[in-house]
Amino acid sequence: MAFLELDGLRCHVQRLAPRDGRPPAATVVLVHGLLTDSLASYYFTLAPALAAAGVDVLMYDQRGHGRSARPQTGYRLEHFVDDLDILLDRLQLPGPFHLLGNSFGGTVAFGLAARRPEEVLSILAIESEPATPVWAAKLDRMLRRAEEQLPREETLAWVSEQHGSHTARLARSAARLLAETSLARDIPASRLPTEAELRTIRCPVLAVYGTESDLADQAAWLDTLLPSCRSTFVPGQEHSVLVETPDVVRELTLSWLRQNGAELRGPTTDERYAGRSAEPQGSVR
């Protein structure tokens, strides 16, 4: 565990080096989603498998989340992108690197790729989308609804009954985040990249959707918008693809890295995950 100061923000960072001690086959930066999410969602699902395959893995808690600081203000998308930009400089991360973003984390990844196109080898976006006016309006509705409903005991009781006590604790923490900060108002007011700026993202992009997710309908649009984007779908899943089907995401990620030049190594899938259990995590777009 490590903490770094990013222009006044105390940021919790975790890094997993290749387990065999050899030079990394690739460098992957993992970016998590909003509200109930943190780097733990990767630590218990994807990160150990990547390290076992010879990957240098960087993950961090975004501002307001996990063990990072929770300022009262400063939650526009550009602040989240700034944090990642500064973190990469502070760590002097050897590039170029791959970005993997879950939900809102994918939106941050698209923002960084537009800012640093020469340093991003590829993007794998799980249930995510670039920031657009439609995205901002949707986030506005979702965050206002969460701000209203999450503090209610009946809501938390329903979450506990349907998804377990751990998820209910995450929901309670999300309610505090919304109550104590300007996040719900800042994100819809973010500076949005223009379509021309988004089209500068020319690295390969793999967009992963659940077939039952409302985001699946945007696949054709994103494939058209980004020059090197293709989409894949996980059957029967809604938004929580990473949490509900971690094995599928692991294999998609490892295959994607190989397709984009990473000479991965390490044990077989069965050896990697034998005896490993994951505590469920959640996220909100």
Residue 48 has pLDDT above 60, yes or no: yes
Q: What is the mean pLDDT of residues 246-252?
A: 96
Residue 220 has pLDDT above 50, yes or no: yes
Quick: pLDDT tens for 7-40: 999 999 999 999 888 999 999 999 999 999 999 9
Residue 272 has pLDDT above 80, yes or no: no
* Residue 80 contacts residue 49 (beta carbons within 8 Å): no
Superfamily per CATH, domain 2-130+191-273: Alpha/Beta hydrolase fold, catalytic domain (3.40.50.1820)
Residue 4 has pLDDT above 50, yes or no: yes
Q: What is the mean pLDDT of residues 144-159?
A: 90
Q: What is the mean pLDDT of residues 188-203?
A: 94
| Three-state secondary structure of the chain | CEEEEECCEEEEEEEECCCCCCCCCEEEEEECCECCCCCHHHHCCCHHHHHHCCEEEEEECCCCCCCCCCCCCCCCHHHHHHHHHHHHHHHCCCCCEEEEEECHHHHHHHHHHHHCHHHEEEEEEECCCCCCHHHHHHHHHHHHHHHHHCCCHHHHHHHHHHHCHHHHHHHHHHHHHHHHCCHHHHHHHCCCCCHHHHHCCCCCEEEEEECCCHHHHHHHHHHHHCCCEEEEEECCCCCCHHHHCHHHHHHHHHHHHHHCCCCCCCCCHHHHHCCCCCCCCCCEC
Distance CA 24, CA 20 (A): 9
Query: Residue 267 has what pLDDT?
Result: 57
Q: Categorize the per-residue pLDDT at 279 as very low, low, confident or very high, splitting at 50, 70 and 90.
A: very low
Residue 116 has pLDDT above 50, yes or no: yes
Quick: pLDDT tens for 83-112: 999 999 999 887 799 999 999 999 999 999
Enter the pTM of the model: 0.91
Query: Residue 167 has what pLDDT?
Result: 83
Residue 78 has pLDDT above 70, yes or no: yes
Quick: pLDDT tens for 174-191: 999 999 999 999 999 999
Amino acid at 32: H
Residue 1 has pLDDT above 80, yes or no: no
Residue extents of the structural domains in the chain? 2-130+191-273
Distance CA 60, CA 42 (A): 10
Query: Residue 49 has what pLDDT?
Result: 96
Q: Categorize the per-residue pLDDT at 125 as very low, low, confident or very high, splitting at 50, 70 and 90.
A: very high
